Structure 1
Amino acid sequence: MKKTKSNMGKYVGFSGDWSFKFYFGREENKPILIGFLNGLFEGEKVIQDLHYRPVEQGGDVENDRKVIFDLYCTGIDGEHFIIEMQQLYQDFFKDRTVFYTSRLINKLIPKGYKGNTYELPEVYFIGILEFELGETERGKYFYDVALCDKQSNLVFYEKLGYKLLVLPNFNKNEADIKTDMDMWLYLLKNMSKLDKIPDFLDKRVFGLIFDIGEVAKLTPEDKMAYEASLKHKRDAENTYSTAQRIGHDRGLKEGLKEGIAQGEHKKAIETALNLKEMGLSTQQIAKATGLTIDEIEKLK
């Protein structure tokens, strides 16, 4: 494969905050996000259009913690979609997904008399993960989660769902890739390594991605942003792996704390920016760097 001088490859990969929002978060690229969601829902629902919404959600009172989603959008039928890319393992990732949907649901309850009925819209959390979710189901690459009755396994509540894609566990051969969701999983995992659109991908669905995703076609500003995001990703992964090595059997939290505690405020800020780029929570970054929650939330 032909590489650019900066080793960026031919196509922009999906990994990283900038790349994720480049493909899925721009109004002009909205058909890509619609295609992705339709591939994920596999006919369970058909999304015809989307509207991007502000990603920052404050609480009802001044001291409530702010929540910032990667992407947040609504469908024309009133559905709400939270879409997150998560690169590094988090101990309480499942808790975070429930917290995010709970905060959004709370904000969507009508105020005053209209709220007395408790009628809620559909809310879905979509997570693209670059780590295994846990030990219970090793090798599982798709989680389709709903509120169910334990005895009958029937869905108890239809309007809340969590769909999680675990990219490291998707290892299908090209001959076994049949569905749109398979194609999306393959692309999310391998886009940065490709030098042409594979024959088994539907050109009608994925042609736009390969057209806009060529590094050579990026504007100078986008190219600089992509290059910076790759550096952030490499730095954060190196920080993470170093902390794990230093931590040994004391676990990720202590390893992160000891491995990256340099004692220098400037270094702590650089590290916090890297970890923030990789999607770690504010609390985890605070424990890892020694910075305060307020300092971390002000970082851009």
Structure 2
Amino acid sequence: MELILVANLLDPRNDFVFKRIFGSEENKDVLLAFLNRTFAEAGEPPLTEITLLNPYTDKDSPRDKQSIFDIWAKTEAGKHINIEMQLFNKYDIEKRTLYYWGKRYSSQLKESQIYKELQKCVTINILNFSVLPNDRYHNIFHLREDHTNIPLIDDIEIHFLELAKLDDHAVPIEGGLVNWLLFLKGVDKSHWEVLTMNEPTLKKAMNTLEFLSMNEETRRQYEARQKFLHDEASMIEGARSEGLAKGLTEGRAQGHAQGHAQGHAQGHAQGHAEGKRQKAEEIAKNMLALGLEAEVISKASGLTEAEIKRLKTV
């Protein structure tokens, strides 16, 4: 298949475009090749066939809020795979990932089915930003015991593919997942030939992107989706910044109030202590005038004998 070069390409990181490239029935071979490179880095055997459970259709319009642009597939062995492209950081991605993984996992069971029928669920998050505090662009998580590393169960597997960590990654000279990620990241088209030599199926993904980029209706839909994603990201960032500012203001106000209250309490306590001491000294002076012993005065006033002796000299 010959590559057709288009100057102004759509961004494959746009989830609408991503699903059209990887989540359509006619491009199942593209998805399969991508998945096998992903799973190879997890030490898993290659897949031979997959079934798309929510394939892209013309009804998946960016203007429809009900449209779902992640990809949900199932292997011959029954393993469920969910792939989601995230162009902007929605924050709390770790909790969000577990929440949606749990929904996918639990939704398998129908009425009267037993837990044993639950199949493994794999979540693959492709992120256009960095989340995890390491330099790895591909991180894989399972559920294992801390000390012995034995698995509790193999039903949970979560992948984070962070495109932002590929900034300084050189174009490879051999096949592998990084070729696919560089394509998604938007590597310069001058490198496309090398990428397709490393990963031949990438050529079909590239051609699909080229054809989509030349279609006027697709471009209108793409721009509508881009606008929605940018607006959503701006609202999230705005709410986050507002929340941080509000939290900082409230924290300062609370600190001021606490300081005022503490100062008031401390002043009250200090004044009370000074008043109590003055009263004790008055009692001691009166008793000294009567010629009583320091030991007796100490017991009556609460002052030490040394303090009473100092009062004699005043």
TM range (shorter): 0.5 to 0.7
Partner residue, 1:15: 13
Q: TM-score, normalised by structure 1?
A: 0.65
What's the RMSD between the two structures over aligned residues? Answer: 3.3
Deviates more, 1:232-241 or 1:88-97: 232-241
* Structure 1 residues 249 and 35, CA gap change in structure 2 (3 angstroms): same
* Structure 1 residues 12 and 195, CA gap change in structure 2 (3 angstroms): farther
Aligned length: 231
Listed as ranges, the gaps of 5+ residues in structure 1 are 56-65, 255-300
* Structure 1 residues 230 and 90, CA gap change in structure 2 (3 angstroms): closer
Choose 1 or 2 for highest CA Rg. Answer: 2
Listed as ranges, the gaps of 5+ residues in structure 2 are 56-65, 250-314
> Are 1:204 and 2:200 matched, yes or no?
yes
> Are 1:250 and 2:245 matched, yes or no?
yes
Cα deviation for residue 104 of structure 1 reads: 1.8
How far apart, CA to CA, are the structure 2 residues paired with 1:179 and 1:16? 25
* Structure 1 residues 69 and 45, CA gap change in structure 2 (3 angstroms): farther
Partner residue, 1:87: 87
Partner residue, 1:155: 151
Select which of 135, 138, 143 maps to 1:142: 138
* Structure 1 residues 103 and 94, CA gap change in structure 2 (3 angstroms): same
Cα deviation for residue 196 of structure 1 reads: 6.1
Partner residue, 1:194: 189
Which residue type is aligned with residue 161 of structure 1? E
Post-superposition Cα deviations, 1:7-54, rounded to whole Å, max 9, x if no partner, equal xx4433221121111111211111111111111001503222222214
Select which of 135, 154, 162 maps to 1:166: 162
Which residue type is aligned with residue 173 of structure 1? H
How far apart, CA to CA, are the structure 1 residues paired with 2:67 and 2:27? 25
How far apart, CA to CA, are the structure 2 residues paired with 1:203 and 1:40? 13
Q: Is the 8 A contact 2:16 2:69 kept in 1?
A: no
Q: Is the 8 A contact 2:12 2:209 kept in 1?
A: no
How far apart, CA to CA, are the structure 2 residues paired with 1:221 and 1:30? 23
**Percent identical:** 23
Q: Is the 8 A contact 2:87 2:127 kept in 1?
A: yes
Q: Is the 8 A contact 1:17 1:85 kept in 2?
A: yes
Larger strand proportion, structure 1 or 2? 1
Q: Is the 8 A contact 1:11 1:214 kept in 2?
A: yes
Post-superposition Cα deviations, 1:150-186, rounded to whole Å, max 9, x if no partner, equal 0022333222200110111123533556441111221
Post-superposition Cα deviations, 1:197-226, rounded to whole Å, max 9, x if no partner, equal 241442522111122211576433223222
Q: TM-score, normalised by structure 2?
A: 0.63
Deviates more, 1:222-231 or 1:124-133: 222-231
